[in-house]
Chain A
Amino acid sequence: MTVIRTPGGLSLRFRPRALVVGAGAALLAAGLGLVAVGSGDYPMSAADVLRTLTGGGNPAEQFIVGELRLPRLVTALLVGAALALAGTVFQSLVRNPLGSPDVLGFTQGASTGALVVVVLGGGSLALAGAALAGGLGTGLLIYALAWRRGVHGYRLILVGIGVAAILTGVNGYLLTRAPLMDAARAVLWLTGSLDGRGWANAGPLLAVSAVLAPLLLIGCAPALRMMELGDDTASALGVPVRRLRLMLLAAAVLLVSFAAAAAGPVSFVALVAPHVAKRLTRAPGPNLVPSMTVGAALLVGADLLAQRAFTGHQLPVGVVTGVIGGGYLVWLLAMERRAGRL
């Protein structure tokens, strides 16, 4: 822990290691992004990409970078960061390393909304809107069901699992109601994909993140750290526990829902990114900023892998994160078991 004090009485505390990890992951994300923008059917060198980004390059390159590849990259960065931030908040709130939106039903709710649109017929805008509505509605439902003089960790988890199981059944049913071509499109969406994402997809998420990320990072992070000491201690330290928990949950659900509306429910980024950040920083408490940058780097890297790993065959990014996340999860369960925490 390092502290900088100014003569005016202001002080700033930070952990150098967390700073290095956050900045390193951000640099990694930028580097991977540069490679992602430069590669494809029309390969460009890193220098070309940078020149085009700063306004140079020929019109064709301007179009390819500005309209095709950059929006996809920005969407990936934002979705990764938003999911990781939401996952960190969830894991901290329910005090469990497995408390991610994939497990707690929010993802399934967003999927239900999207599938209703697929079955009834509707464009991609309606799909994104319905996913958003589904995620938020599920968040409200879980909160209402789990509420009993405040919402506590394990009741939230168990209610979330129950709601997730119900919605999984509903989603399977909806999938059988769609014509085969629409069902294929729906499964693609359910897996999470960045194919063909434009500025219209990135815009709403950017706006929401621009409001919520500073709110969480600056407004709530210190209180969140105190809440990890337990509700009673946090209350004694002056944290308005109940109100803060509602606010944090609302912010996390909003982030997850908007991310799902932008790229579909990309699985396990919200679970894995906070863990990776925590291992790298070795810092206690929620590592909000390092988690965000790690999440962004993770999703950009996964998308790059999904596009380029199999020549001639592009996978949706959700397949790659699913495989990474599944493997990590089994390892995590084994470690938790060995440590006697499970």
Chain B
Amino acid sequence: MRRGRQAARAAGLIGAVALLGVVLLLSIAVGAKAMPLGDVWSGLLHRDAAEYAVVHRMRLPRTLLGLIAGAALGVAGAVMQALTRNPLADPGLLGINAGASAAVATAAAFLGVTAIGGYVWFALLGAAVVTALVYAVGGGRGATPARLALAGAALNATLYSYVSAVMLLDTASLERLRFWTVGSLASADSATVTRVLPFILVGLLVALGAARPLNALALGDDAARALGARPALIRAAVIVAVTLLCGAATAACGPIVFVGLLVPHLVRALTGPDLRWLLPYCAVLAPVLLLGADVLGRVLGRPGELQVGMVTAVLGGPLFLWLVTRGRVAHP
């Protein structure tokens, strides 16, 4: 029985990876100039093919950014939900991405930082501050999902009003930031990808490493200690991981909401609550959602495109509403 379930989960993970492969190819193939799959292959592999420039300069960095940002947001959402024991924990809803945005807006408008290399440090700083704040507010004994979500929404409102005030004072920042604040993969280039990749990799490794002790922590601090876990250390590690993942993803593609909420909920239906399976599934399926939303935005928005942040908001919002109106969320 037990072995059968493990095998099913492993097979499911392989299926998810295959799905991810299809979406990756689609993301390279669909765009202003649609390519048949044969051209995608030759554009990827042959330096002298006609599609080489389009694929390597634009489509490939965009796809890779979607891959790592999606994985980052999905895993961050899953570990936040585990850590705060809160089904509504999402880096976007709780204001962590907005904190990174506010820091980036400050850097862009007042300190003259314009490149991704500078953005990323400020985004990490902003994400760290809000993560700590959210945890301080939401980690308490009396914290209920609804109250934490409300505190996060209030933080979001504050930070967004700050960002729009910054854009208002400086038209140059408005021009740059208004595309970035929706959440978009369109500006991706290989420099962006290589800049944020190390942060996201470290964040993913820390989160995956924390999966087993987080499982123990779900039983309560005392039981976790009895099982050999160290609650304070685990919490600190998870906060660091969430900061790295959300800060880097936001610096690269702007604040994206609902990916971190949607994916863990869908995946939990497949794997159950065990984080050792949940996190890898999230890391694979969250990019499927993000890149799928990006491709959808490119198809629906022709001849331009819809930003991926808007597509995820419109797709993920109804799920959130379903979760809260079905009464799946504990009331205070």
Please give the residue numbers on chain A whose beta carbons come within 8 Å of chain B beta carbons, in ascending order: 96, 98-99, 102-103, 107, 145-146, 148, 154-155, 157-159, 161-166, 168-170, 172-173, 175-176, 180, 183-184, 187-188, 190-191, 267-268, 271, 315-316, 318-319, 322-323, 325-326, 329-330, 333, 337, 340-342
Contacts and interface: CB of A to CB of B under 8 A. Distances in A.
B331 A154 contact: yes
A164 B136 CA distance: 24
B160 interface: yes
A42 to B, nearest CB: 26
Contacts of A158: 88, 146, 149, 324, 329
Contacts of A175: 178, 181-182
Nearest to B301: A173
Contacts of B146: 154, 157-158
A164 B149 CA distance: 12
B304 to A, nearest CB: 8
B309 A165 contact: no
B314 A342 contact: no
Given A173-B307, A183-B174, A165 B313 contact: yes
B119 to A, nearest CB: 18
Contact of B158 (A107, A164, A329): A329
B307 A162 contact: no
B149 to A, nearest CB: 6
B36 interface: no
B258 A333 contact: no
Given A173-B307, A191-B168, A326-B162, 16 more contacts: A98-B150, A102-B154, A103-B154, A162-B321, A165-B317, A169-B257, A169-B314, A172-B307, A175-B182, A184-B168, A322-B161, A322-B162, A322-B165, A323-B165, A333-B137, A342-B140
A176 B182 contact: yes
A180 B176 CA distance: 10
11 contacts: A98-B151, A103-B157, A158-B88, A165-B313, A169-B309, A169-B312, A169-B313, A184-B174, A187-B167, A326-B162, A333-B137
Interface string B126-154: 00000001001100101100110111011
B237 interface: no
Contacts of A107: 157
Given A158-B146, A169-B182, A173-B307, A319 B321 contact: no
Contacts, number: 160
B310 A173 contact: yes
B200 interface: no
B140 A340 contact: yes
Nearest to A147: B325
Contacts of B162: 322-323, 326
B168 A96 contact: no
A174 to B, nearest CB: 9
Interface residues of B, number: 54
B164 A187 contact: yes
A148 B329 CA distance: 15
A103 B146 CA distance: 13
Given A162-B324, A187-B167, A168 B179 contact: no
Interface in B154-207: 154-162, 164-165, 167-169, 171, 174-175, 178-179, 181-183
B52 interface: no
B83 interface: no
Contacts of A319: 165, 168-169
Closest 7 CB pairs of A and B: A169-B313, A166-B317, A172-B182, A158-B324, A173-B310, A326-B158, A322-B161
Nearest to A157: B150
Contacts of B164: 187, 190-191
A145 B171 contact: no
Contacts of B331: 154
A163 B317 contact: yes
A161 B153 contact: yes
Nearest to B134: A333
Nearest to B257: A165
A322 B310 contact: no
A169 B310 contact: yes
Given A98-B150, A164-B153, A172 B181 contact: yes
